[in-house]
Amino acid sequence: MKRAILLTAAAIFSFAIISCNSGSKNKAETGEAKEVTVTEGEQTLSIDSTDAIVEWEGYKPTGQHHGTINVSKGQIFMTDGALIGGNFTINMSSIKDLDLSDAEANAKLVGHLKSADFFDIEKYPTARFEITSANRVSNTNNYEVTGNLTMKDKTASVKFPASFVATGDSVVVNTPQFIIDRSVWDVRYGSRKFFDNLRDNYISDEIGLKVTIRKKVN
């Protein structure tokens, strides 16, 4: 009986570690690319790298890494102060790691992420996200945003929650961290979906993303 209890406790502990390292909550709903129906609004705001940032987090059995990546340009479409659409270009070469203080280790990780093993930025220097629908939750500032994410010439629809607040002098967009599956966009390195016998050397297919946009309105 004691052995069974210990085994059960060990299993729960292992599951907790895997859950923490995989970012298993808030998974974005992913599917086939959808038609873009909104190409402008009553008001259009231009976005650049000073207005927007994407935070990322990656997971493996022994830990995780996190960093940022820049939105190089974009547009937000609004009507009556509500979000109705938009599009954003992501500069893949701007990817940074923020948790490794050792310069050599940091450069090695970032170089690997930029290589053909991961995002292959020499061949695919940008990614793109285009909103296909923005559904407001009642009369709140909360939305369900759906859009087409294109990376490495692969496009899939992604749906996630976001808040959108428009005042007289600014627009602020925030998302909680949401999880996408990198294998959908053919990012294969260390993925158990593409390689066998990786044991504990695998890297989770899950990537956590969090988007923040703060735009001053003239």
**CATH code, domain carrying 15:** 2.40.128.110
Amino acid symbol at 14: S
Domain coverage including residue 144 = 2-216
Average pLDDT of the residues in 53-59: 97
| Residue from 30, 108, 127 nearest 70 by CA | 127
The pLDDT tens digits for 84-137 are 999 999 999 999 999 999 999 999 999 999 999 999 999 999 999 999 999 999
Q: What is the C-alpha separation between 212 and 218, in angstroms, rounded?
A: 20
Rounded Cα–Cα distance for residues 177 and 193 (Å): 23
How many domains does the chain divide into?
A: 1
Let me know: does 65 contact 100? Beta carbons within 8 Å: yes
- The Cα–Cα gap between 58 and 21 comes to 8
Model pTM score: 0.86
Q: How is residue 102 annotated by DSSP?
A: S
Buried b (16+ CB within 10 A) or exposed e, 178-205: bbbbbebbebbbbbeeeeeeeeeebbbb
